[in-house]
A and B are shown apart, each in its own frame.
Chain A
Amino acid sequence: DGGITQSPKYLFRKEGQNVTLSCEQNLNHDAMYWYRQDPGQGLRLIYYSQIVNDFQKGDIAEGYSVSREKKESFPLTVTSAQKNPTAFYLCASSPQRERNEQYFGPGTRLTVT
């Protein structure tokens, strides 16, 4: 059963704590992405990775960190430096193709209080 998995679906944390969101894919895609979605706004790119052991900042990288040690995995850490971390987080991947259509996971809803 191929696809992208994200866990957990819902996550609750206290302010000041770091939290790591999981993203795994078995589609053999080279590129992976992390987005944040807030109500009434488009998806905003946090980080992306085109190849193992390499990643680039997106538009809103401050307060977040990532790693890409394996092709299948691209975890996102939301640090205490992120001022407004409560949001819906989406992971995506795309094949090594010009078209760059993306395949999304089911998302993780993070609530920080």
Chain B
Amino acid sequence: SQKIEQNSEALNIQEGKTATLTCNYTNYSPAYLQWYRQDPGRGPVFLLLIRENEKEKRKERLKVTFDTTLKQSLFHITASQPADSATYLCALSRGGYNKLIFGAGTRLAVHP
């Protein structure tokens, strides 16, 4: 069955540094890969989407890469701030109304 792996350990970084989160998947061929942010006790918020034929997508301080050969996506936050502290979820889909498959998320803590 399909599987998504995100680092279960929290990522602790210093303010101003670049945070890099990893999403690996197996037994699946997604057409789209999405990243969401979730704060404690709240619903996830959509951040970025990247298509299978795209290598990289940027939005302000966020950058996502997608390597379908390695079956991996990297999510970067540059010039990180304490306000970026949250759990980040990756999700895969084949598009249309095919369901999203979510990873368990990686918690990011940015320290002043």
Partner of B4, one of A31, A42, A92, A104: A42
CB-CB contacts of B69-112 with A at 8 A, as 1s and 0s? 00000000000000000000100010111111111110000000
Contacts of B96 in A (CB 8 A): 98, 100
Asked if residues B43 and A105 are in contact (CB atoms below 8 Å), the reply is yes
Q: Which residue, of A35, A50, A109, has the highest number of chain B Cβ atoms within 10 A?
A: A35
Asked if residues A107 and B95 are in contact (CB atoms below 8 Å), the reply is no
Please classify the interface of chain B as helix (H, G, I), strand (E, B), loop, or mixed, using the class held by over half of its residues.
loop
In the docked arrangement, what's the CA distance between A98 and B102, Å? 18
Contacts of B43 in A (CB 8 A): 4, 90, 92, 104-107
Q: Does A45 contact B (CB under 8 A)?
A: yes
In the docked arrangement, what's the CA distance between A50 and B98, Å? 10
Asked if residues B98 and A42 are in contact (CB atoms below 8 Å), the reply is no
Total interface residues in chain A, CB < 8 Å: 29
CB-CB contacts of A31-48 with B at 8 A, as 1s and 0s? 101010000111111001
Asked if residues B99 and A58 are in contact (CB atoms below 8 Å), the reply is yes
Query: In A4-61, which residues have CB < 8 Å from any B CB?
Result: 4, 31, 33, 35, 40-45, 48, 50, 58-59
Residue of A nearest to B104 (CB): A42
In the docked arrangement, what's the CA distance between A100 and B95, Å? 6
Q: Does A70 contact B (CB under 8 A)?
A: no
Asked if residues B45 and A104 are in contact (CB atoms below 8 Å), the reply is yes
Q: Does B42 contact A (CB under 8 A)?
A: yes
User: In the complex, what's the smallest C-beta–C-beta distance from B73 to chain A, in angstroms?
Assistant: 15
In the docked arrangement, what's the CA distance between A101 and B103, Å? 15
CB-CB contacts of A89-113 with B at 8 A, as 1s and 0s? 0101010001111111111010000
Residue of A nearest to B93 (CB): A100
Asked if residues A100 and B46 are in contact (CB atoms below 8 Å), the reply is no
Partner of B102, one of A42, A94, A103: A42
Q: Does B53 contact A (CB under 8 A)?
A: no
Q: Does B49 contact A (CB under 8 A)?
A: yes
- Residues of A at under 8 Å CB distance from B? 4, 31, 33, 35, 40-45, 48, 50, 58-59, 88, 90, 92, 94, 98-107, 109
